[in-house]
Amino acid sequence: MKPKTTIIVLIICLVFLGLLMWGYGKNNKTTALVQSISSSATKSALIATDVFYDFGTISMKNGDVSKDFIFTNSTDKDILVRGVETSCMCTLALLVGSDGSSKGPFGMAGMGGLTTTNETLKAGESRTLRVIYNPNAHGPAGVGRINRFVTVTDSSGGKLRFEIKALVQP
């Protein structure tokens, strides 16, 4: 290689390495900011032993999938559930009572769906949160890994967040 070509290649490599390091530094700051925002959210007195579910690989041709989560009022006072909100229009949630009755479906805020409720949980009482994911909602562009959230908000502003994941295939 000629000395001039070697210098140009070296400069390009250094610029590329510099961009990688700059991007990595930016990414860490973003992650820290997201973690900071998440940890500053008010914790709810509502508790759940299971707040995450991975459906694994699912097929669009098989239609909707659902997961039931159970949450409980862990206090000695009644708690008013004010809202149930999903992170995407492809995901819906229902509050299912012990008698099998349900409220909802709850959806994504600002998209015309229901996000508010006035469901009272007595001390020690539990509810089922049924999360329904529609793998066809995004059409053919919706294949790949998904990550969706459902947030239950109580009257004190406390939030309990549930998460589902899946790998969507045609």
Q: What is the pLDDT of residues 53-65, one digit of tens each?
A: 999 999 999 999 9
Bridge partners, 140 (sequence order): none
The DSSP bridge pattern shows strands 159-169 and 79-86 to be unpaired
Same domain, 26 and 50: no
Same domain, 67 and 151: yes
Mean pLDDT of 92-109: 94
Kindly report whether the global pTM for this prediction surpasses the value 0.85: no
* Domain housing 12: 1-40
156 in helix, strand or coil?
A: coil
Please check the confidence at residue 35 and state whether its pLDDT lies above 50. no
Residue 90 sits at the vertex; the CA angle it makes with 89 and 96, to the nearest 5 degrees, is 90
Mean pLDDT of 78-83: 96
Same domain, 26 and 99: no
Q: Which amino acid is at 157?
A: G
Total domains in the fold of the chain: 2
Same domain, 68 and 142: yes
Same domain, 21 and 61: no
Q: Which residues of 37-48 are buried (b: 16+ CB within 10 A; e: fewer)?
A: eeeeeeebbbeb
pLDDT level of residue 11 (50, 70, 90 thresholds): confident
Same domain, 56 and 115: yes
Same domain, 11 and 74: no
Residue closest to 93 by CA, chosen among 64, 55, 57: 64
